[in-house]
Chains A and B, each alone.
Chain A
Amino acid sequence: MKQPRPMKTFVLQEQGPIELTHATISYFFPKVEASVKTHSSTPMEAPIRATEFLRFTLLSLLFFVCRSSPSHDLLISNAERRIDLTSHIVKVYLTLKVENAGSTPTSEILLAFPPTQVDHLATVEALVTKGKRKKTTLARLDVTPTELPDAPNGTKYFTIYLTNPLNSGESTTLEVLYLFTHSLEPFPAEIGQSESQLVYYRDSALILSPYHIKQQTTFLKTPSTKVESFTRVEPTNRAGTEMKYGPYEDRHPYTFSPILIHFENNSPFPVVEELVREVEISHWGNLQVTEQYTLVHGGARHKGVFSRVDYQSRPNMNGVSSLRYLLARLPPRVHSVYYRDEIGNISSSHLRTDSRKSELEIEPRYPLFGGWKATFVIGYGLPLQDFLFESSDDRRYLNFTFGCPLLDTVVDKLTVKVVLPEGSKDPSAVVPFTVEQHLETKYSYLDVVGRTVVVMEKKNLVPVHNSHFQVYYTFKPIFMLAEPLMLASAFFLFFVACVAYLHIDLSIRK
């Protein structure tokens, strides 16, 4: 337990808001360093930092040169940020009051993220409040990642496009929600069975923004009151499970103040490393879904002994962060659900169905401790009429959810395969976010030409991505009869051959 201390004290020295310097960069952009990983103790940090000093100085010089470039027309009069650290998905709610101080109307607002955070950023959503007082409605805005040529230190941007341009002097309130995955670094990285899981969360006390922020506050919510340490950037308050950074007044663009919070988070970190969902459409009335999971507990790695007797007799003290069960929310009217892995059925699952949803509670074969893995398959059938519709242009489309049905899980890589019936043509997919797409061919029961498979791939998913997508295709119902007819004719030919054989006398001598 000796290694963290130098780093922690080092961080705490950085009191108050500062401009980006080589030290903060090296702290906040650990990727720049050669060997610093996000999830392990880094005893080698100091020497590397020393050797790379020159480089950071250069970087920070570059930064100061560049930082004046983004437009200063906009300024943020008030920003409030709420960071929810209760689960392993970090949710950030950002409320920005944006004011156009320039002369030209603008409809683009930039959000800035440090590059390390961008890697873990799962989704960014922006909403604008419309209407006055009581009749406020939220309208979703387009958000796209943007590359700016002169981004300081590899800062990444997202542009929010306003529906109505913001005229000069006007102001609007934006609600921005973004989620980070893999952003809680367990420390210590390895824990025993009876220890609780402590994690680091790194962020900035000040919002990284290309705009001038007049006033800003950050609230952090931790899952329990047990907080080992946290960086103070005055004024900082902590009450119960909430921490408050700010309010800070009048900060320049790209001001940055790293904070580090070390707190207890005993919730399991279910991470699906890879999920392959295969949705097979049968026009005989069934939709067969097969989901292959590779699940890992992404929390602090389990160390040493696993004692079943402790685990069973003292469940509150032992293996508190272990993953005991998972809940999958399936569509209603689900049937023939199975839950198995490569060596057979897993008997520990419960299915609860009602008219609105189905809940499948599954337990892995063994409780998952940090770093433990399990693979399994969930499969179920669904009535086709709930998901397949005819569009106006005589095409058919499948309307299905995209993400992972397991609640509160992060999916590192998701592949959705929609297996269209044999003979369907012109497939096209409509997904609310960008995915990689390509087509495959699959041969299933008695196929001759094969079925078209629309494959969609996406990385770093959170439950927010469980939105609907559509796959359009054309299909002639006559193809449904192809296989039955084929079978019937095969049997017919077989019997004809039998009859023929019995009627033909092949003997040479009569």
Chain B
Amino acid sequence: MAAPETSTAAVPTLYTNNTLRNAFGGVLSFFILLLIGVMAFSIRLFSVIKYESVIHEFDPYFNYRVTQFLAKNGIYEFWNWFDDRTWYPLGRVIGGTVYPGLTLTAGTIWWLLNSLNIPLSVETVCVFTAPIFSAFASWATFLLTKEVKGTGAGLTAAALLAMVPSYISRSVAGSYDNEAVAIFALIFTFYLYIKTLNTGSLFYATLNSIAYFYMVCSWGGYTFIINLIPMHVLLCIVTGRFSSRLYIAYAPLVVLGTLLAALVPVVGFNAVMTSEHFASFLVFIILHVVAFVYYIKGILSPKMFKVAVTLVVSVGLAVCCAVIAVLIALVASSPTKGWSGRSLSLLDPTYASKYIPIIASVSEHQPPTWPSYFMDINVLAFLVPAGIIACFSPLSDSSSFVVLYIATSVYFSGVMVRLMLVFAPAACITSGIALSQSFDVFTRSIKFQLPGISSSMEVDAVETSSATAEAQNDAVKTEKSEETSKNRPSKKSKKKEKEKEEKPSTKAKAEKRLLALPLDSSVIFLLLLILLGAFYVVHCVWAAAEAYSAPSIVLTSRSHDGLHVFDDFREAYGWLRHNTDVDDKVASWWDYGYQTTAMANRTVIVDNNTWNNTHIATVGTAMSSPEKAAWEIFHSLDVKYVLVVFGGLVGYPSDDINKFLWMVRIGGGVFPHIKEPDYLRDGQYRIDSQATPTMLNCLMYKLSYYRFVETDGKGFDRVRQTEIGKKYFKLTHFEEVFTTHHWMVRIYKLKPPKNRIRGKTKKSKSKTSSASSRGKRSGTGKKNPWQ
């Protein structure tokens, strides 16, 4: 972007100096951007440095496994992949139920590197995908903010986004999740929309559709785009900002974008059939009506126009009413009004907790607390209002988009903590605008107040504030450039703009002189702003290094005798992988499903893709049933091993006992004989001697605390800070086959069925019954002399 200016040969001598300065500014901002990219990448490497290069948490393991499959078998196999390792016995069609963007991206990177003979493993590529894409995201933020408020704001926003903790939390190295690429796609789509809106270029409109397609591939959050952009279009129409640029920005996006979105298997016809997309079509119609009205207005005389309006309105209203009535009837006929559960819980925050416990049980679907705002966006929370104000002076098409973006994302982030991620870029953009505007004001005041410098620095001042000048004159400029640059290549038009811009900025200088603030106060405010920025940086580095770097499969604790590593999860998965039969089924709560399939390579009953509520409820019911009933449920599911996570020995709080109430709730939602009050004593969830007998006899309690009392003699649970209620008990239908070093994962095996029959009924009877159904098992059992 620096080169065009320097390369123009026919520059008037008057502007030579300024062109050089422009070129210098361009090169400078290029290097700043490069550094921002490097920072965005490297701040996310704390997890690799402090821990190891490993995939984090739960969902990334699934994505990793899918990527491995893709790398091994190719794209066609991937689309047709039916995964029989999960949701046993149902299985899952991976190719048709997964957002393929992330996987395809990492798979492509891997393929590219390998074809260049750079033998990186799939795991390495997956680990570093998120940091790479956060660098891209910060560049996209620069582009977007530059379109809105100029280069200065763009750079500030990019720097802020590069290290905003909310985004870091989802994109540290190893956090190989959809959001890692989706946030880039989101910002880039917005940028292209704004770019199209500012230039009216069909080229950018097409790019916009492609970026939108990438977003649809990557994340279910694409519905945010396809609702936000129509909202903005509607806003523009309502506020009388309709223009042909708006039409070009929107109409191709809807048509092309919807067509492309329908290509993604997981979306398919949802792109036209669900209510999430309805708004876009409605606005599409409205836009055409408005465009038509403008056109009619142009060719008719005012008088004729009035007549035409009354005619059309009366007829049109009738037709519209009919159409709307049909639509409403169609929508209302479906039970969820055509909205998916997650979207509904966005619109009505209490929806999920009322109707779908499985959505409510996920921690990232909970509403955030106020401290989490401060934790995740820190000082940006204070800068956002200033940024919104800056967007209003003056309000352009693009800045109104930013205002709309932040307003909606604030609401969404208030509903689900997960959507803080969508809010963070908006916060960064507005804060970037606020910061750069205020810097601009203060530095300008200082410059004009220093008498010695002011005269010599005049040109300088123009130069540094040219960014803002550009932004402030945005409305004027875009109107002007619209005519001049309608069909021109963008490079050329940009050059024109740059040249044009010089004049108004010198004019603006006179006005700015009047706006100057007192010297001392502006210096103080400047220092305070720098302090604020420094505080933000310190907080971000802390968050990246301490709060969000843990991979959550490896835990560490610092004690007086050094670092202690808890690697129990992988110990258990490693054991399962090597010491159980390849076709054995492992039952656990769904949280550990993805990890079990990826790390242990064993078939699971339920996993983190919670698509079948009944199946999860079955496992929940088994966990909350007494041993015998649980055994029967598990046996009917062909389960051989049951895995529970238990933190009571070392004080690991997110263990299965703490999640247990959700199992009861989800189980009880489908199987009414499981009642939540049975597990609560006076509304309190407890596992000590006051606990209810149902609680003390359920499978989860027994599997968690089996022989726990023998560790310290009392059975003191360090998570619940209490002694357990039932200390000595035996397992009759399960046997412990593996417990990890710190007891965090315990694996039990279902005893074979003959043990159940023996001693209860007569031998002859059991023989006949077992010989028919499982003759082989009892046959070998009889021969085994050590049993």
Contact = CB atoms under 8 A, between A and B. Distances in A.
A307 B570 contact: no
Given A303-B786, A307-B736, A345 B707 contact: no
B738 A346 contact: no
B574 to A, nearest CB: 4
B304 to A, nearest CB: 38
Contacts of B579: 371-373
A347 B710 contact: no
Contacts of A312: 711
Contact of B743 (A304, A308, A447): A308
B567 A365 contact: yes
Interface string B108-120: 0000000011110
B7 A502 contact: yes
Nearest to B492: A507
A366 B739 CA distance: 9
A346 B565 CA distance: 10
A193 to B, nearest CB: 10
B740 A308 contact: yes
Contact of B571 (A41, A190, A365): A365
A42 interface: no
B736 A2 contact: no
A188 B574 contact: no
B736 A446 contact: no
A366 B571 contact: yes
B703 to A, nearest CB: 13
Contacts of B710: 309, 313
B54 interface: yes
A3 B785 contact: yes
Given A308-B743, A373-B578, A445 B119 contact: yes
Q: Kindly name the residue among B119, B578, B785 whose own CB sees the greatest number of chain A CB atoms within 10 A.
A: B578
Interface string B364-390: 000000000000000000000000000
Contact of B4 (A345, A375, A502): A502
A343 B570 contact: yes
Nearest to A371: B579
Q: Kindly name the residue among A308, A345, A348 whose own CB sees the greatest number of chain B CB atoms within 10 A.
A: A308
Bin the interface of chain B by size. 35 or more
Contacts of A308: 736, 738-741, 743
A343 B738 contact: no
Q: Kindly name the residue among A3, A41, A343, A445 whose own CB sees the greatest number of chain B CB atoms within 10 A.
A: A343
A345 B565 CA distance: 11
B117 A366 contact: no
Contacts of A347: 554, 565, 567
A345 B47 CA distance: 13
Contacts of A41: 785
B575 A344 contact: no
Contacts of B736: 305-308
Interface in B449-506: 488-489, 491-492
B172 to A, nearest CB: 15
Interface of B is mostly: mixed
A341 interface: yes
Interface in A42-68: none
B429 to A, nearest CB: 29
Nearest to B51: A345
Interface in B650-688: none
Nearest to A189: B786
A443 interface: yes
A313 B649 CA distance: 14
A503 interface: yes
B578 A375 contact: yes
Contacts of A343: 54, 570, 573-574, 577, 599
Contacts of B575: 365-366, 372
Contacts of B117: 443-448
B58 to A, nearest CB: 14
A41 B52 CA distance: 46
A343 B93 CA distance: 25
B3 interface: yes
Contacts of B591: none
Contacts of A3: 785
A348 B570 CA distance: 12
B739 A507 contact: no
A101 interface: no
Interface in B529-561: 553-554
A398 B785 CA distance: 55
Q: Kindly name the residue among A2, A345, A371 whose own CB sees the greatest number of chain B CB atoms within 10 A.
A: A345
B578 A503 contact: no
A366 B740 contact: yes
Contact of A304 (B119, B735, B740): B735
Contacts of A188: 786
Contacts of B785: 1-3, 41
Interface in B568-605: 570-571, 573-575, 577-579, 599
Contacts of B325: none
B737 interface: yes
Contacts of B553: 344
A43 to B, nearest CB: 8
A373 B582 CA distance: 13
Contacts of B116: 446
Contact of A444 (B4, B119, B573, B707): B119
A345 B737 contact: no
A374 interface: yes
Interface in B633-648: none
A346 B567 CA distance: 8
A345 B740 contact: no
A365 B570 CA distance: 8
Interface in A357-384: 365-366, 371-375
B372 to A, nearest CB: 29
A306 B735 CA distance: 9
Contact of A344 (B7, B52, B739): B52
A341 B601 CA distance: 14
A305 B735 CA distance: 6
Nearest to A308: B739
Nearest to B711: A309
B54 A344 contact: yes
Contacts of A366: 571, 574-575, 738, 740-741
A152 to B, nearest CB: 37
Nearest to A2: B785
A367 to B, nearest CB: 9
Contacts of A507: 488-489, 491-492
Nearest to B598: A343
A306 B737 contact: yes
Contacts of A345: 52, 54
Given A2-B785, A305-B737, A344 B554 contact: yes
Nearest to B6: A502
A303 B743 CA distance: 21
Nearest to B556: A347
A503 B7 contact: yes
B16 to A, nearest CB: 19
Interface in A275-323: 303-309, 312-313
Interface of B: 3-4, 7, 52, 54, 116-119, 488-489, 491-492, 553-554, 565, 567, 570-571, 573-575, 577-579, 599, 707, 710-711, 735-741, 743, 785-786
Counting from the closest, the 4 A-B pairs by CB-CB distance are A308-B739, A502-B3, A373-B578, A344-B54
14 contacts: A305-B736, A309-B710, A343-B54, A343-B573, A343-B574, A347-B554, A366-B740, A373-B579, A444-B117, A444-B119, A445-B117, A445-B118, A503-B7, A507-B489
Interface of A: 1-3, 41, 188, 190, 303-309, 312-313, 341, 343-348, 365-366, 371-375, 443-448, 502-503, 507, 509
Given A443-B119, A446-B116, 6 more contacts: A344-B54, A344-B570, A365-B574, A366-B574, A375-B578, A445-B118
